[in-house]
Structure 1
Amino acid sequence: MSSLSLVVWPHQTTSLETQCWAAFRDGKHDEAVSLLPLVTEPNKIKRTYGLIWKNTSLLHLSLRHGWLEVTKDLITKYHCDPHECDDGAQACLYWAAEGNHVDTMRYLIDVCHCDPMATNNKGETVLHCAIDHIDIVKYLINEKHCDSMTVNDEGQTPLHIAAYYSNSAVLEYLLSTGKCDPLAKDYKGRTPLQLAKHNWFSEVAHSSKLMQIHWIDKERLTQFIMATQDDETGGFSDRPGDMVDPFHTLFGLAGLSLLGNRQIKGVNPIFCLPQNVIERLELDYELLKE
Structure 2
Amino acid sequence: MNLSSCRVAFYRGDHEEAVRLLGLQDPEVLHRDEPDLLYYSISNGWLDVTRDLVISYHFDPHKYYNDGFSNKRESCLYTAAKGNHVDIVEYLIKECDCDPMMRTTTTEHGSVPNLHYVAREGLLDVLKCMVMNINGHIIDEQYHDTTNNGRTVLHCAVKHIDVVEYLINECNCDIMTPDKVGDTILHDAAREGSLKVMKYLINTHHYNLTTTNNNDRT
Query: What band does the TM-score fall into relative to the shorter chain?
Result: 0.5 to 0.7
TM-score computed with the length of structure 2 as normaliser: 0.65
* RMSD (CA atoms): 3.2
> 1:89·1:119 contact (CA, 8 Å) conserved in 2?
no
Map of 2:161 onto structure 1: 168
> 1:16·1:39 contact (CA, 8 Å) conserved in 2?
no
How big is the shift at 1:142?
A: 2.8
Moved more, 167-176 or 124-133: 124-133
How big is the shift at 1:33?
A: 2.5
Q: 1:24 to 1:177 in 2, by over 3 A?
A: same
Q: 2:99 aligns with which of 115, 122, 146?
A: 115
Residues 135-192 of structure 1 deviation map (CA, whole Å, 9 limit, x = unaligned):
22112223421635412221211111111xx222111101113532323333444332
Q: Which amino acid aligns with 1:93?
A: L
State percent identity of aligned pairs. Answer: 37
Map of 2:189 onto structure 1: 196
How big is the shift at 1:30?
A: 2.6
How big is the shift at 1:20?
A: 3.6
For residues 81 and 113 of structure 1, the distance between their equivalents in structure 2, rounded to whole angstroms, comes to 11
Map of 1:104 onto structure 2: 88
How big is the shift at 1:74?
A: 0.7
Residues 1-290 of structure 1: pairs in structure 2 closer than 5 A: 16-38=2-24, 41-45=29-33, 57-86=36-65, 90-120=74-104, 124-131=112-119, 132-145=122-135, 147=139, 149=141, 150-152=143-145, 153-154=147-148, 155-163=150-158, 166-177=159-170, 179-199=172-192
The count of corresponding residues between Structure 1 and Structure 2 is 177
Q: 1:147 to 1:85 in 2, by over 3 A?
A: farther
Q: Which runs of 5+ in 1 are unaligned?
A: 1-14, 47-55, 204-290
Residues 96-148 of structure 1 deviation map (CA, whole Å, 9 limit, x = unaligned):
22222232223223322333343455673321122232122112223421635
> 1:127·1:158 contact (CA, 8 Å) conserved in 2?
yes
> 2:94·2:133 contact (CA, 8 Å) conserved in 1?
no
> 2:90·2:133 contact (CA, 8 Å) conserved in 1?
no
Q: 1:43 to 1:148 in 2, by over 3 A?
A: farther
How big is the shift at 1:71?
A: 0.9
Task: Kindly name which structure, 1 or 2, has the bigger radius of gyration based on alpha carbons.
Answer: 1
Q: Which amino acid aligns with 1:147?
A: I
> 1:97·1:130 contact (CA, 8 Å) conserved in 2?
yes
Q: 1:74 to 1:160 in 2, by over 3 A?
A: same
TM-score computed with the length of structure 1 as normaliser: 0.51
How big is the shift at 1:69?
A: 0.9
Q: 1:44 to 1:147 in 2, by over 3 A?
A: farther
Aligned-partner SS, 1:112: coil
Residues 226-261 of structure 1 deviation map (CA, whole Å, 9 limit, x = unaligned):
xxxxxxxxxxxxxxxxxxxxxxxxxxxxxxxxxxxx
Q: Which amino acid aligns with 1:115?
A: D
